[in-house]
Structure 1
Amino acid sequence: MNSHLTIEHCGQTLWLLPDRALYWPARRALVVADVHIGKAASYRALHQPVPRGTTDATLQRLDALLAACDCDQLIILGDFLHARTARAPATMARLKAWRDRHDRLSIVLVRGNHDRHAGDPPTQLDIEVVDEPWILPPFALQHEPDIHPEFPVLSGHVHPTFILRGRARQRLRLPCFVMAPQVSLLPAFGEFTGGWNVEPRPGDCIYLAGADQVWALQR
């Protein structure tokens, strides 16, 4: 993982990965947010023209990260399944085949707003599902970016992006990590998720993910 960026945050060494994930070496845990499996299929059910193959692409990226990092655990900060329509037999078969390739991996899903509508993953996927906040010291792991009274938060939900502006009205929009003393945000991991543009606040550190690297935004 030569392209990751190592940071110190709340007394922990964390790796920010270009593929919009975080690796926590002390816990041997890969942390992702907003996977949104089946989102494209949900849109197609509404007769919206959207790309195909997004579920396979998302799972292949997870495969690559799990192979590259020394992982005992995968932590998902909410929105694993996009909607009930994501539970189509073909999608569930892909997920089951993926889970079988990682049958020794512990997976924990912190319920997000889409999970509450989609329902918990099928039991055959062997995913532990917990409500937020899930305390894994020194962090509170959440989907919603709400302040916790005792612990700094790692969260998702927002799908943060940042716009780089250049000359001649050039604009480049990139997913980003927002690391802050109270509430930090992970970029959306899923292939078909969109994003929300963030503006740094005092104390925020913005890390851009793109071009197979992560770099700090210099302000």
Structure 2
Amino acid sequence: MPVIRGTCEARWAGQHLLLLPERALYWPGGGVLFVADLHLGKAATFRALGQPVPGGTTAENLSRLAVLLARHAVRRLVLLGDFLHAAQARTPALMAALDAWRERHADLACTLVRGNHDSRAGDPPAALGFDIVEEPWLIGPFACCHHPQRHATHFVLAGHLHPACSLHGRGRDSVRLPCFVQEEGQAILPAFGEFTGGLYMEPLPGRRFYGIGGDTVWALPGG
């Protein structure tokens, strides 16, 4: 199949995968889109605590997700934890946006692997029709987790860390980028959600970075 411009190909667990600049992972062989750490309602949670942060992030997240579902032959969406940010995120506006999004994608199978924020925020409403599971949840050769870890038989796909890496130019010039991180037996996805921040990850032997800049993903040297 043709590779969409800006994506980066990888072969993990013997499978052909596409690393997408929208900070998601697509498995063509299984028709599965993996995303981690949407943290829907995070901005609303901050506003509920009196912090003057901008709105609109939920609509942006769901819009980007809808574009990916339309672009790829996705039969199942797997959410690698932290779907909702907190209990305060469950505002009427956010719930209405989720209901509308689900109606437009009624035939899509959706699986949520519970993350640490999901434990505090509570499961999505049953009306959304999500399969709610604990980590590790196995599909094909992959163990779907929220927390990075090792699995005895399957290649782990995880989130939680919101990984970021640095590119260094001449002198002191540097830029920090969200990234995919591959290590032995696992890969860590960048946070899909807007307004989520990132954790810088040190270069280590056997660790490979796939940086995301603008509308492109590329494999960085080293690893």
Structure 1 length normalisation: TM-score? 0.97
Superposition deviation, residue 137 in structure 1:
2.6
C-alpha distance in structure 1 between counterparts of 2:77 and 2:66, whole Å: 11
The Cα offsets for residues 113-170 of structure 1, whole Å up to 9 and x where unpaired, read as 0001101000111111100000113111100002122222110000000011222422
- Listed as ranges, the matches of 1:37-186 within 5 Å are 37-186=40-189
Q: Which runs of no fewer than 5 residues in structure 1 stay unpaired?
A: none
Distance in 1 (CA, whole Å) between partners of 2:16 and 2:184 is: 15
User: Is 2:205 aligned against 1:202?
Assistant: yes
RMSD in angstroms over aligned alpha carbons? 1.0
- Deviations 1:97-125 (CA, angstroms, capped at 9, x unpaired): 01111010000000000001101000111
1:3-18 alignment, distance < 5 Å: 3-18=6-21
3-state SS of paired residue (1:175): strand
Deviation at 1:50, TM superposition (A): 1.2
Measure the CA separation in 2 of the matches of 1:19 and 1:210: 10
**CA distance in structure 1 between the partners assigned to 2:63 and 2:140 by the alignment:** 30
SS in 2 for 1:167: coil
How many percent of aligned residue pairs carry the same amino acid?
54
| CA–CA distance in structure 2, aligned partners of residues 55 and 171 of structure 1 | 30
Letter in 1 for 2:53: V
**Letter aligned with residue 20 of structure 2:** L
Say which SS state the counterpart of residue 184 (structure 1) adopts: strand
SS in 1 for 2:29: helix
- Extract unaligned runs of 5+ from structure 2: none
For 1:201 and 1:149, how far apart are their aligned partners in 2?
A: 22
Q: Distance in 2 between matches of 1:167 and 1:51?
A: 35
Residues 10 and 181, structure 1, Cα contact 8 Å, conserved in 2: no
SS of 1:26 mapped into structure 2:
coil
Q: TM-score, normalised by structure 2?
A: 0.95
Name the SS for the 1:57 alignment partner: helix
| SS in structure 2 of the partner of residue 27 of structure 1 | coil
Q: Deviations over 1:153-207 (max 9, x none)?
A: 1100000000112224222111000112222100000011000001122222210
> What is the rounded CA distance, in whole Å, between the counterparts of 1:210 and 1:103 in structure 2?
32
Structure 2: how far apart are the matches of 1:105 and 1:137? 18
Give the paired residue count.
219
